[in-house]
Amino acid sequence: MKKYGKVIKDANLKNYNTYKLDVKCKYLIEVDDYNSLKELINHLKEKEIKYFIIGNGSNLILPLYYDGVVIKLKLSDISIKNNIVEAGSSAMMGKLAFDSVKHSLKGLEWASSLPATVGGAVINNAGCFGGETFDSLVKIDCLYNGEIITLNKKDIDYGYRYTNLKDYIILKAYFKLEKGNKEELIKTIKEINDKRKKSQAIIYPSAGSVFKNPEGDYAGRLIQECGLKEKKIGGAMVSSEHANFIINYNNASTDDIINLINLIKEEVLKKFNIDLVLEQEIK
Q: What is the DSSP letter of 283?
A: -
| Nearest-angstrom CA–CA distance, 135 and 137 | 6
User: According to the model, what pLDDT value does residue 225 have?
Assistant: 98
The answer to whether 60 and 123 have CB atoms below 8 angstroms apart is no
Q: How many folded domains does the chain comprise? A: 3
| Nearest-angstrom CA–CA distance, 270 and 103 | 50
Q: Is residue 84 located within the same domain as residue 183?
A: yes
CA torsion sign for 157, 52, 282, 197 is negative
Catalytic: which of 100, 136, 161, 206? 161
CATH number at residue 38: 3.30.43.10
3-state secondary structure at position 207:
coil
pLDDT digits (tens, 9 = 90+) for 168-219: 999 999 999 999 999 999 999 999 988 887 776 678 999 989 999 999 999 9
Q: How far is CA 176 from CA 53, 94, 181, in A?
A: 26, 16, 16
| Nearest-angstrom CA–CA distance, 123 and 73 | 15
User: According to the model, what pLDDT value does residue 200 have?
Assistant: 67
Q: Mean pLDDT, to the nearest integer, of 136-140?
A: 99
Q: Which domain holds residue 224?
A: 219-282
209 is catalytic: yes
30 is catalytic: no
User: According to the model, what pLDDT value does residue 195 have?
Assistant: 86
The answer to whether residue 259 is domain-embedded is: yes
CATH number at residue 169: 3.30.465.10
Q: Percent of the chain beyond pLDDT 90?
A: 93
Catalytic: which of 89, 209, 239, 267? 209
158-173 residues labelled b (16+ CB within 10 A) or e (exposed): beebebebeebbbbbb
pLDDT digits (tens, 9 = 90+) for 75-109: 999 999 999 999 999 999 999 999 999 999 999 99
279 is catalytic: yes
